Amino acid sequence: MKEEHLKEIPEVTELPDSWWYRVYLGVIISNILVILALGTFAYYFSN
């Protein structure tokens, strides 16, 4: 068996919920921007 398989898997420290809420907000804002960009793209080339 290779050495790395003998190593203990390190305990994973989970990030706090407050950090995740900021990530979710980032996801929502970026997707709103993406949808607005798609709308602008369609408007620009359709007129």
Partner 1 sequence: MKFLDWAIVAVYLVYVIWDGIRMTKNSGNVEGYFLANRSLPWWAVGLSVMATQLSAITLVGTTGQAYSDGMRFIQFYYGLPLAMIILCVTAVPFFYRAKVYTAYEYLENRFDAKTRTLTSFFFLMSRGLGVGVIIAAPAVILSIILGWNEITTIFVIGLTTTLYTMIGGVQAVTWTDVKQMVIIFVGMSVVLFIIFSSLPNSVSITDGLHLAGATGKLTTIDTHFDLKEKYTIWSGMIGGLFLFLSYFGCDQSQVQRFLTAKSVGQGRTSLLMSAFLKIPMQFLILLIGVMVFVFYQFNQPPMIFNSVQADKAQISKPAEYNALQSEYETINQNRQKAALEFVAAEKQADETLTATAKQNYLEANNQFAASRKKASEFIKETNDDKNFNDVNYVFPTFVIENMPMGVVGLIIAAIFAASMSSVAAELNALATATTIDFYRRHFKKEGTDAEYVKFGRIATAFWGLFACIVAIYATNLGSLIEVVNKFGSFFYGSLLGVFVLAFVVKRARARGAFFGLLFGIASVWIASFYTDIEFLWFNVIGCLATVTAGYLISLTVVEDSK
Binding site for partner 1 (CB under 8 A): 5, 9, 12, 14-15, 20, 23-24, 27-28, 30-31, 34-35, 38-39, 41-42, 44-47
CB of 24 to partner 1, least distance (A): 5
The least CB distance from residue 15 to partner 1, in Å, is: 5
5 torsion bin: left (phi>0), alpha (psi -120 to 50), beta (else): alpha
| Cα 27 to Cα 5: distance, rounded to the nearest angstrom | 36
> Minimum CB separation from partner 1 for residue 5, in Å?
8
For the chain, counts of helices (H) and of strands (E): 2, 0
